[in-house]
Amino acid sequence: MKEHHHDKFELIMNKLYEIVLNNKKVIFTADYEYPACYKEGFIYREITDITDPLLIFVEDKSRGSDYGD
């Protein structure tokens, strides 16, 4: 993230901090459907939950192609 959006990195970190201040129990995960861990009473956030409202769009290149490449 820092390499691709270095000019907006501080903005992203401030948003992460804001989320943690408002929700003390947060798990940042790559995928809602398969988080690394499950904890009762925690909220889950993906990177796009942070970046999309800031109009910073992250392309997920780790997912497979729809064309079967």
Cα gap 58→5, rounded to integer Å: 9
Q: Residue 36: its pLDDT value, please?
A: 87
Q: Residue 44: its pLDDT value, please?
A: 95
The domain ranges of the chain are 6-51
More confident residue, 31 or 69: 31
2-60 pLDDT, tens digit each: 566 678 889 999 999 999 999 999 999 988 888 889 999 999 999 899 999 999 887 76
Q: Residue 4: its pLDDT value, please?
A: 61
Ranges of H-type helices in the chain: 9-22, 47-51
Is 69 a residue whose pLDDT tops 80?
Answer: no
